[in-house]
Structure 1
């Protein structure tokens, strides 16, 4: 932005000041939002609105002004013979696009039938010292869109719609749980261990306690402690942090909704999550049918259910049940010419290896809502083993358009079995599997006081929004995504 423009705007500001106009007044009382004013009958008077000037179109005796905010926009008309020459000229000499204006007047419709406020009086409400960008919409510098998100919100309808949808989505999810007697709680972000998921944590240091801490990767073990403490239905909107690779589907800081219900199993949760998705779609988008990658998906139709083994068999021809040993499974993938391209492939445990195989060969093909069930136990250190086949877990994931949206389990509540599994994870960790879980004695102690049957779930708000709005990247689903320091 050229400094000439800013100097010019500062000059106008000083002129306003010398004319006794307050540049940054304290307040202005409005009686209509812009989008509501646009719905009023012609002739309605006494309307007071305010907003940022987004365009000015001058004619000799009248001027059209568009003002806007995140909720909508409104056209105003300034007529020389109605407002008087002095006020008409003052507007043109001193107001710029980007400035804020308050206006009072009455509604009418123009010849092209656009609802417009005829200004009877106006007030200056704030000067913008920088000019708004002109070619923002086709902006190819994505980084700038994230770095100056406020401009993106001002200039791009799509960004406004998506991020307003995020707010509606959160409101709908909260309402859904509260209406079904779930209690919202908050658990700590600073933790001694990083349990509750397979992920690498961010580390930080606590001065007063002279100790290293982790930022949580999941709220899971604390929410389960609440079940031990007598809560039966809880949920949390939890900021989580995972110090891992950046990708179009992953954020290092994200918002997870996690919840638990005592006395449920994962099949109860499957029904419940389907209800929730349908409720949220209705509340947020007023429909259960959305378009993803050019395909129309009606979420109200039956959802597919498929087991991990059947899915991998269908897409690769490999029956993972025949390969209890990870080395042989690896050889089989090579024999079938499947190359998983992972530098740490030799050190992966069987669970993470199968996960890699699934993510590469199967997940991208799952477009319409699909419940994936019966995950191998090595993939789910906190899930309950299946009664008929203890090498599998009572777990499901909801996958839509190649993205995992919801992860849910019948929870493991046996403290002795939990200890065995965490010990196995700790061994993997010491052998170089960075994503394996660490031992969590405090949580084991809580479990030893006894837990009822529990089912729980977790999902990321950004991932859900990304799929439902068919966005190319998850960064578009955050108000202020992290960018590199300039």
Structure 2
């Protein structure tokens, strides 16, 4: 189907419908009844309120407003479906119960038109809860027809480009975004109740930092400098911990100039939170509590279906170190390997390839083995902990093994849902790791971080022991809505322009 069509009807037929609707609009305007001059309609009831409280509302006068989704009859008696913010309600319009001129005008209304209705709540002979119309006002004229009933708007590319039509004709789509809104509210309530302070940090920065990702670059004309859209909120938030704001969080957009697939969009939403005087174990407890309570509150259950799997979010999720998970699923015991060469050889022996920009180290071999051979096997909620320092430039080293860090990622249904660690607060160690990132960047790794001298300066004033956590809002919503692509939970996903 062509992306330039709004229905599966032939373009010629669509053009004819457009012409007819424009003629109707012109006639209304010529008669001094331009619907676009309507300024407001004070409705006092919704479809859901009428249905949920029908016994109390039966016989009561109401005002409802919404979009006409169907019309039946159209002789002296007409039935219509009105769609408002909550759902649909049937309208019953009878010529001898309305002003004759009003009814005559109403008969010319089209599906898709937006109307205001004054009437009475009643139940039809067939038992359907309805509104008996006394007056119907055209509030806005739809000049394009909605997709036809049985095929609807099914072209995925078109659905994402024209989300406004998608929301009108596919009711299940709206549910996804209602759940998204509820989840974000839950996150705020959850953190606010625990004494966290919501803050805002810059979207534009003079360096790219806080994650390993390729940034979007723009230019500030007045300062005549390149600037980077943030790839994370981490470093500014930890500066606030240095400043004494012991519990902070930010919900906001992140921008990464990387590939697009069912799990990735160039701009996405995260919540990052930081708490002084705790560690990655405290963050693990918090994350488990936050996500499981969200499922219980929003869906009423810990049991959810996602990507064809039955997921159990009941608290008490397994916690495995990365080397334990690798040993469990591949048989390789990296803790019994001491040299870089042996570790790389063991990884390659089972088909693991190290990226060209990655140094051939024990830590990179362990991480890539997990990434390529284990992650795909993690279906139920599982915390993977103790990542190699090679891939964790901002995490505190493990006191038991300096090759590892106090870091975790949560995996559900083969997807990473969040990332956290005990924050590195040693400015000397941090500068050395930044320098390592700079060296990787010089070798051609465009995702490697940059040196942030001001952040080192902040650490030298003293960062208390701190736990930090970053959660992908979009992926959590995908889980709660059983969506198989991130585009189903972002209202306006990034799309290539039509030529």
Residue 129 of structure 2 is aligned to residue 115 of structure 1:
yes
For residues 322 and 335 of structure 2, the distance between their equivalents in structure 1, rounded to whole angstroms, comes to 10
2:489 equivalent among 459, 477, 484: 477
312-321 or 43-52, larger mean C-alpha shift: 312-321
- Residues 22 and 124 in structure 1, CA contact (< 8 A), matched pair in contact too: no
Residue 139 of structure 2 is aligned to residue 125 of structure 1:
yes
Does the C-alpha gap of structure 1 residues 467 and 43 become closer, same or farther in structure 2, counting only changes over 3 Å?
closer
Equivalent position SS for 2:135: strand
Residue 39 of structure 2 is aligned to residue 29 of structure 1:
no
In structure 1, the gaps of 5 or more residues are: none
- Residues 288 and 315 in structure 2, CA contact (< 8 A), matched pair in contact too: no
120-129 or 422-431, larger mean C-alpha shift: 422-431
User: Post-superposition shift, 1:19?
Assistant: 3.6
- 1:91-170 equivalences in 2 (<5 Å): 91-93=106-108, 95-134=109-148, 139-170=153-184
1:386 equivalent among 376, 381, 398: 398
For residues 402 and 347 of structure 1, the distance between their equivalents in structure 2, rounded to whole angstroms, comes to 25
Q: Deviations over 1:320-362 (max 9, x none)?
A: 33556655444323323x254xxx7233234555443322211
Q: Deviations over 1:163-193 (max 9, x none)?
A: 1111111111111111111110000011111
Residue 231 of structure 2 is aligned to residue 217 of structure 1:
yes
* Aligned residue number for residue 251 of structure 1: 265
- Residues 136 and 152 in structure 1, CA contact (< 8 A), matched pair in contact too: no
Equivalent position SS for 2:305: strand
* Aligned residue number for residue 7 of structure 1: 19
TM-score by length of structure 2 reads 0.92
Q: Deviations over 1:139-180 (max 9, x none)?
A: 553111111111111111221111111111111111111111
- Residues 44 and 107 in structure 1, CA contact (< 8 A), matched pair in contact too: yes
* Aligned residue number for residue 185 of structure 1: 199
2:72 equivalent among 15, 40, 57: 57
For residues 493 and 269 of structure 2, the distance between their equivalents in structure 1, rounded to whole angstroms, comes to 12
Does the C-alpha gap of structure 1 residues 21 and 275 become closer, same or farther in structure 2, counting only changes over 3 Å?
same
* Aligned residue number for residue 317 of structure 2: 303
53-62 or 191-200, larger mean C-alpha shift: 53-62
24-33 or 421-430, larger mean C-alpha shift: 421-430
* Aligned residue number for residue 446 of structure 1: 458
- Residues 384 and 409 in structure 1, CA contact (< 8 A), matched pair in contact too: yes
- Aligned-residue Cα RMSD (Å) equals 1.9
User: Post-superposition shift, 1:476?
Assistant: 1.1
Equivalent position SS for 1:389: coil
For residues 289 and 454 of structure 1, the distance between their equivalents in structure 2, rounded to whole angstroms, comes to 32
User: Post-superposition shift, 1:388?
Assistant: 1.5
* Aligned residue number for residue 77 of structure 1: 92
- Residues 67 and 76 in structure 1, CA contact (< 8 A), matched pair in contact too: yes
For residues 154 and 69 of structure 2, the distance between their equivalents in structure 1, rounded to whole angstroms, comes to 22
Residue 328 of structure 2 is aligned to residue 318 of structure 1:
no
* Aligned residue number for residue 62 of structure 2: 47
For residues 419 and 402 of structure 2, the distance between their equivalents in structure 1, rounded to whole angstroms, comes to 20
Equivalent position SS for 1:37: helix
Does the C-alpha gap of structure 1 residues 219 and 138 become closer, same or farther in structure 2, counting only changes over 3 Å?
same
For residues 377 and 266 of structure 1, the distance between their equivalents in structure 2, rounded to whole angstroms, comes to 15
TM-score by length of structure 1 reads 0.94
User: Post-superposition shift, 1:252?
Assistant: 1.0
* Aligned residue number for residue 291 of structure 1: 305
For residues 474 and 383 of structure 2, the distance between their equivalents in structure 1, rounded to whole angstroms, comes to 20
Aligned length: 481
User: Post-superposition shift, 1:302?
Assistant: 2.4
For residues 57 and 352 of structure 1, the distance between their equivalents in structure 2, rounded to whole angstroms, comes to 66
47-56 or 156-165, larger mean C-alpha shift: 156-165
Equivalent position SS for 1:347: coil
For residues 58 and 436 of structure 2, the distance between their equivalents in structure 1, rounded to whole angstroms, comes to 75
For residues 122 and 138 of structure 1, the distance between their equivalents in structure 2, rounded to whole angstroms, comes to 27
In structure 2, the gaps of 5 or more residues are: 1-10
- Residues 21 and 124 in structure 1, CA contact (< 8 A), matched pair in contact too: no
* Aligned residue number for residue 356 of structure 2: 346
User: Post-superposition shift, 1:421?
Assistant: 1.3
User: Post-superposition shift, 1:123?
Assistant: 1.0
Residue 438 of structure 2 is aligned to residue 423 of structure 1:
no
